[in-house]
Amino acid sequence: MNNGVIDYYNTYDEDGRLFRDNSHQIEWLTTMHYFDDIIPASSKIFDGCAGTGNYAFRLAEQGHRVVASDIVPHNIDIMLKKQADTPMLEDIFVGDICACNHYNDHYFDVVLCMGAFYHLDEKMRYKAMNQCLRLLKDGGLLVITYINLITVLHLNLMSRLENISEILKCYREKTLGDSFEYMIPEEIEIMAKKYKLTILHHLTSDGNPFARGADFNKARKEDFEKYMELHLSVCENKNLIGSGLHGLVFLTNN
């Protein structure tokens, strides 16, 4: 599985993904809105699936002490180039969040697991969760993202149902057979309950993709800003979480 993930991100523009257009910026703006609201000042943060460091560097700019890791060496190379230009992160390394042994127990105030669950099956998600909680201080903040299976099914269903057999298989196996794994919102809540974690916020970071047509990305800046007001007002509504593409969960272990 790791080789498939690495191959995928070697040719994918992860660095520009969140800023490509209005539709993609929703995820970035929503996540940063919640970070600004909930992460205590001067926190020690481990970004365990940092990608190319977009969140890690922004959080460091805000005065947090940030360590960034990713399983993809290509992503780490991009982060190291950014770090060379503007040194801000405390540490950058290639690492698997399921086996992260670089730091002692309960070292971080905040642990970000934002991307690993896109590629881990249920068994491996629990391995990642164990590592995240090992690294997290008591009363700390754990942030997890996932991709909603139900939305993926409908996004990939062809208009004349030619691939309905593949979609049914995806529903049963929670994957389309590539490097991605999907889950439903209830699963993350079950995980939280098993670990006796408190859910502070559970939301969709980008909302329902079917609500955004081709003209959405051509909207005027002031209209998009008003749309973000709407999105931030409703993104924790369970009806929207169930139809959103990316889920975002803030948990604490106190």
Q: Which two tokens stand for residue 12?
A: 């994918």
Q: Which stretch of DSSP H or E encloses residue 142?
A: strand 136-147
Statement: residue 133 has pLDDT above 60: yes
Statement: residue 1 has pLDDT above 80: no
Mean pLDDT within 42-70: 98
Mean pLDDT within 52-56: 98
CA separation for the pair 244, 107 (Å, rounded): 33
Q: CATH number of the domain that 110 lies in?
A: 3.40.50.150
Domain count within the chain: 1
* Amino acid 46: pLDDT: 98
Statement: residue 62 has pLDDT above 90: yes
Contact 210, 32 (CB under 8 A): no
CA separation for the pair 248, 146 (Å, rounded): 7
The domain containing residue 47 runs over which residues?
2-252
Phi and psi torsions of 139, nearest 5°:
80, 10
Phi and psi torsions of 163, nearest 5°:
-110, 25
Tell me the β-bridge partners of 146. Answer: 247
Q: Which two tokens stand for residue 169?
A: 């298989």
DSSP annotation string for 65-106: EEEEEES-HHHHHHHHHHHHHS---SEEEE--GGG--SS-TT
Mean pLDDT within 156-168: 98
216-242: pLDDT as tens digits: 999 999 999 999 999 999 999 999 999
DSSP state of 198: E
73-122: pLDDT as tens digits: 999 999 999 999 999 999 999 999 999 888 999 999 999 999 999 999 99
Statement: residue 66 has pLDDT above 60: yes
30-52: pLDDT as tens digits: 999 999 999 999 999 999 999 99
* Amino acid 254: pLDDT: 81
Mean pLDDT within 188-212: 97
> Rounded to whole angstroms, what are the CA distances from 147 to 4, 36, 64, 144?
17, 23, 27, 11
* Amino acid 150: pLDDT: 97
Contact 15, 208 (CB under 8 A): no
CA separation for the pair 192, 142 (Å, rounded): 11
**Is the whole-model pTM more than 0.95?**
yes
